[in-house]
Structure 1
């Protein structure tokens, strides 16, 4: 529930912050709250993904993508994510959450997100996302056309991300995925 409250606050304040292109980096100042931490006194590993959701919403609102999503009734979903922890963000510690689009392929938009304390990376995640409509997944070309954009020429999806995505993918939702340990 606290993440929902944070989301509502973020959505109401993001519009007051400087506008961004969807290919720029969003930086959101935050503080580790009591509801974020676990028994060890640092942000719970699962909570990072909830906080990263907020960073993507900030970028979408400030880049104008959020309004287009609402107008077109598109819903954002996460398809895959991976995270690396370097240092712990502890209770009441200030940090910034940095979010940028890492690249795109024919199916997904990939984000790189970081928790940064005093200019130092503490946590980094890579997240594969899509937008869905009632008709199904929205093509990235349609998203870019709706925004009146093309991807920057220097926006090249790192090879390791493509391999990670292929190596960890489950079958599509319309194909069987039997639960068998092998």
Structure 2
């Protein structure tokens, strides 16, 4: 339930007061770990990372100035795959920042990197692969890029993302045979 309150707070308050960033810039949003976010080990539970990341990506789109436009078009962001690397735990009541940025795209997917950081350092790095859909159809990446007004050069995907894409392709090939 507390994530609904955080979502309402994000949409009603934070989005209206966010700074503007470029399409490839890093978005930063802070949260505090509440006891209800923790598991029996008294740290942020794994499922909450993904939930907080959803909020952070929504905030990132607002900072880019594209959230309202995408909502008007009824384009929905969909996560296709994600991979998490946990480094250290986040304790109850600890303040953490989620840094989110688009690291690139290919002919089908966007790739986003999200990092969880506290005063103690880096806690988790996550890569997310996603698309936008409308009326059950995927929106072509070229159309999304044009709609958000990005005219710069397509960034080169980081080596770890390229390896991850290869792994995802292998996984699909093995399991779809």
TM-score scaled to structure 1, two decimals? 0.87
Tell me what 1:156 maps to: 156
Aligned residue for 1:15, secondary structure, equals helix
Alpha-carbon distance in 2 for matches of 1:66, 1:15: 11
Q: CA deviation at 1:29?
A: 1.3
- List alignment gaps of at least 5 residues for structure 2: none
Q: CA deviation at 1:161?
A: 1.5
Tell me what 1:83 maps to: 84
CA offsets, 1:149-172, max 9 Å, x none?
13445x21124323322422565x
Q: CA deviation at 1:103?
A: 1.1
- Whose helix proportion is higher, 1 or 2? 2
Alpha-carbon distance in 2 for matches of 1:58, 1:49: 14
Alpha-carbon distance in 2 for matches of 1:81, 1:96: 19
Aligned residue for 2:112, secondary structure, equals strand
Compared with structure 1, are the counterparts of its residues 146 and 127 closer, same or farther at alpha carbon in structure 2 (3 Å cutoff)? same
Alpha-carbon distance in 2 for matches of 1:60, 1:4: 19
Alpha-carbon distance in 1 for matches of 2:135, 2:72: 13
1:103 matches 2:101: no
TM-score scaled to structure 2, two decimals? 0.90
- List alignment gaps of at least 5 residues for structure 1: none
- Select between 92-101 and 135-144 the one with higher mean Cα deviation: 135-144
Tell me what 1:123 maps to: 124
Quick check: 2:18–2:62 contact (8 Å CA) kept in 1? no
Q: How many residues align?
A: 174
Q: Which runs of 4+ in 1 moved over 2 A?
A: 150-153, 165-171
Q: CA deviation at 1:118?
A: 1.6
Q: CA deviation at 1:15?
A: 2.2
